A and B are shown apart, each in its own frame.
Chain A
Amino acid sequence: MKELKMIVCAKQIPDPEAPFSAVSVDTQKKIVSVDAPDVINPYDENALEAAIRLKETIGGFITVISVGASLSDTVLRKAIAAGADELILVEDPAFQDIDSNGTAYVLKKTIEKIASYDLILTGRQAGDWDSGQVGLILAELLGLPCVSMAAKIELQDSHLLVERVVPIGTELVKTPLPSLVTVSNEVGELRYVSRSKILAMLKKRIPMKKMSAKDLGLETEKVSKLELVELQPPPDMRRQCVFIEGVNLEEKAQKLAQIIKDSI
């Protein structure tokens, strides 16, 4: 088998690991702002890791595509530093408040430009809206077989063997090429990319293309958007924490044991 042509779809989102104190909700303007740097959606990083492992074992070419109203190549360059070969940023102000259907549509148009591919990978969901729809809709739009929630992906002859997470354990699924696979975190974290390597990348010219709605020949009114009727603040999760004090560890452990006993 010649090298595997892979596409990884990656969303840029505010760091979902950010503390909740960094998140503020403007109910008037209906905007959530997160005071933390943007990152590649961690589940899409899992998808990229799966792609890089396939490339390492059998050889391949990885194109990373990101769609958004405002993208930062600083954030997305990490994908190249980790092992992707090419980056396509599809950026347009018209993509503000784009929904899952809209995103899948833009991805489809972009992928049709690339023309040939063997495997499309997406994360199981994105850590901002947690809808988990884009990958599955994209498969349907492209008429591809789809396997969701992959924990492991292998190529065997001319088809893929995907171990997928199911409630009772795992399922081994055989799917032909090309297919679309959504990847779960069981695949493992994206390999470590040192900061110095990412910084060095910033100075280099990297294989990156930028496209707009117009470049893709998209009619922007066909890109479906979220209709946000209302934005509400979250229910308050905070509690008053009592820190357990004591003269030594022994006393603290005793107090803690008593608390556990009283709470059961």
Chain B
Amino acid sequence: MGDVLILAEVKESGLEKSTFELITLAKQLAKELEGKALSIVLGKDPTEAGQELRRFALDSVYKVQDPALEGFVPEVWLNTLEQVIKELRPQVFLMTHSPVARDILPRLGLRLNSTVTMDCVEVKVDPSDKRLLRKKPIYGGNAMAVLKCKGTPEIVSLRKNSYPMAQADGQVSELKELTLKITKDLVTQVLETKKRDIVELDKAEVIISGGRGLAEKEEFSQLEQLAAVLEKKGIKAMVGCSRPIVDKGWMSSDRQVGLTGTMVAPNVYIAIGISGAIQHLVGMVRSKKIIAINTDAGCNMFKVADYGLTEDYKEILPLLIKKLEETL
């Protein structure tokens, strides 16, 4: 038995897109391991998501339904998933490299006496021993490590945008419910959730990012003006930043581009006063056109940029805003 189980993550309007990538990978691996491709969805009422999953020709779709599974409460989810895996006994367990995975998988791995590899971009089967070959970027993407690990199930989290999305092919699989003991006594308690208006940088057509080269928080207003001009012309433009700006508390973390922020690939990425630390570059290097503005001609950002300007952004931005208003 070499079954492959995935956890389908759900957002307000259905399944997370990344789940479709997991399905693609699960089917590939299940074929090579001569096992089944299985999916589990957890929630207060995950029936709708379960129904959506049924259309992807998986071998089985399972759900666990309980009011305590609403939202994401780490302790509850961890205990539930541990039971799911003990019940279904997969050879491989896959999740998207999401905040849920980051919180749960290390602990789940330890409980199941297995070794987890986080943030993989490719997973294959070694034909000689049927163990997984887990490829993950290290040193901020400066090298790729291929690892083999001990323990069953083999547990991996998959970086978004690594596999093509599976298409629903009409074959309907059964939706089964697992009845488990859901934890109710919690050691840690969530007292309050503060929702913020979250900027979804990965939806932008143009991103204007600022870094350490900006001396004060207020200087971001010029970047916002530039974004506003583009918005006025019907272009989805957003302001982003590099990690030091979030560390200083000038911007919230949803605006951070990079390995620990959002990975983006807009049509145009404008990097202002960003020197180009590896962890930032990895997050934006897939952008179609990269424009760097920096007074230091030797900085790394120019090495990955299509166009460069070695001017003080404070002088060039007002002019650029004016020109864009005329040109667009």
Is A25 touching B308 in the complex (CB atoms < 8 A)? no
Cβ-defined partner of A168 (8 Å) among B107, B196, B205, B235: B196
The verdict on A257 contacting chain B, using a C-beta distance below 8 Å, is yes
Mask of A176-204 contacts with B, CB within 8 angstroms, 1/0: 10010000111011000000000000000
| Nearest chain B CB to A179 CB, angstrom units | 8
Binds A, one of B18-26, B30-38, B85-93, B132-140: B132-140
Chain B: CB-nearest residue to A226: B147
Is A130 touching B259 in the complex (CB atoms < 8 A)? yes
Cβ-defined partner of A141 (8 Å) among B110, B135, B140, B142: B110
Chain B: CB-nearest residue to A132: B102
The verdict on B149 contacting chain A, using a C-beta distance below 8 Å, is yes
Binds A, one of B49-57, B168-176, B177-185, B287-295: B287-295
Cβ-defined partner of A101 (8 Å) among B115, B192, B243, B302: B115
Mask of A137-148 contacts with B, CB within 8 angstroms, 1/0: 101110001111
Cβ-defined partner of A241 (8 Å) among B138, B140, B306: B306
In the docked arrangement, what's the CA distance between A146 and B109, Å?
Answer: 15
In the docked arrangement, what's the CA distance between A228 and B138, Å?
Answer: 12
Chain B: CB-nearest residue to A244: B309
The bracket for how many chain B residues form the interface is 35 or more
The verdict on A212 contacting chain B, using a C-beta distance below 8 Å, is no
Chain B: CB-nearest residue to A133: B106
Is B198 touching A169 in the complex (CB atoms < 8 A)? yes
Mask of B97-123 contacts with A, CB within 8 angstroms, 1/0: 001001101110111000111110000
Contacting residues, chain A, for B290 (C-beta < 8 A):
239
Interface residues of B in 287-320 (CB under 8 A from A): 288-292, 297, 300, 302-311, 315-316, 319-320
Contacting residues, chain B, for A19 (C-beta < 8 A):
276, 278, 300
The verdict on A220 contacting chain B, using a C-beta distance below 8 Å, is no
A229 and B139 contact, Cβ closer than 8 Å, known pairs A170-B194, A175-B187, A253-B323 = no
Cβ-defined partner of A229 (8 Å) among B147, B206, B288: B147
Q: Dominant SS at the A interface? A: mixed
Contacting residues, chain B, for A174 (C-beta < 8 A):
188-189, 191
A148 and B316 contact, Cβ closer than 8 Å, known pairs A170-B194, A229-B146, A234-B141 = no
Cβ-defined partner of B187 (8 Å) among A46, A101, A145: A145
The verdict on B193 contacting chain A, using a C-beta distance below 8 Å, is yes
Cβ-defined partner of A258 (8 Å) among B137, B145, B327: B327
Binds B, one of A70-78, A83-91, A121-129: A121-129
Is B319 touching A249 in the complex (CB atoms < 8 A)? yes
Is B253 touching A186 in the complex (CB atoms < 8 A)? yes
In the docked arrangement, what's the CA distance between A134 and B116, Å?
Answer: 11
Is A18 touching B205 in the complex (CB atoms < 8 A)? no
In the docked arrangement, what's the CA distance between A145 and B190, Å?
Answer: 13
Contacting residues, chain B, for A101 (C-beta < 8 A):
109-110, 115
In the docked arrangement, what's the CA distance between A228 and B310, Å?
Answer: 42
A238 and B304 contact, Cβ closer than 8 Å, known pairs A172-B194, A174-B188, A260-B206 = yes
A253 and B322 contact, Cβ closer than 8 Å, known pairs A20-B142, A148-B74, A168-B193 = yes
Chain B: CB-nearest residue to A184: B253
A169 and B139 contact, Cβ closer than 8 Å, known pairs A237-B281, A242-B307, A243-B310 = no
The verdict on B68 contacting chain A, using a C-beta distance below 8 Å, is no
Contacting residues, chain B, for A185 (C-beta < 8 A):
243, 246-247, 253, 260
Is B107 touching A23 in the complex (CB atoms < 8 A)? no
Is A232 touching B144 in the complex (CB atoms < 8 A)? yes
Contacting residues, chain A, for B130 (C-beta < 8 A):
none
Contacting residues, chain A, for B150 (C-beta < 8 A):
224, 227
Contacting residues, chain A, for B83 (C-beta < 8 A):
none
Cβ-defined partner of B291 (8 Å) among A99, A127, A256: A256
| Nearest chain B CB to A222 CB, angstrom units | 12
The verdict on A131 contacting chain B, using a C-beta distance below 8 Å, is yes
| Nearest chain B CB to A136 CB, angstrom units | 4
Contacting residues, chain B, for A184 (C-beta < 8 A):
253
The verdict on A149 contacting chain B, using a C-beta distance below 8 Å, is yes
* 8 more CB-based (< 8 A) A-B contacts, given A239-B304, A243-B308, A243-B310: A130-B259, A132-B102, A148-B74, A172-B192, A237-B304, A249-B315, A256-B323, A260-B291
22 pairs across A/B with beta carbons < 8 Å?
A23-B143, A101-B109, A133-B118, A137-B110, A139-B107, A146-B107, A149-B102, A166-B99, A170-B194, A170-B196, A172-B191, A186-B247, A229-B146, A230-B145, A231-B144, A234-B137, A241-B307, A250-B319, A252-B311, A254-B327, A257-B324, A263-B289
Closest 3 CB pairs of A and B: A253-B319, A257-B323, A133-B106
| Chain B residues at the A interface, C-beta cutoff of 8 Å | 72, 74, 99, 102-103, 105-107, 109-111, 115-119, 126, 133, 135, 137-150, 187-196, 198, 205-206, 235, 243-244, 246-249, 253, 259-260, 267-268, 270, 276-279, 281, 285, 288-292, 297, 300, 302-311, 315-316, 319-320, 322-324, 326-328
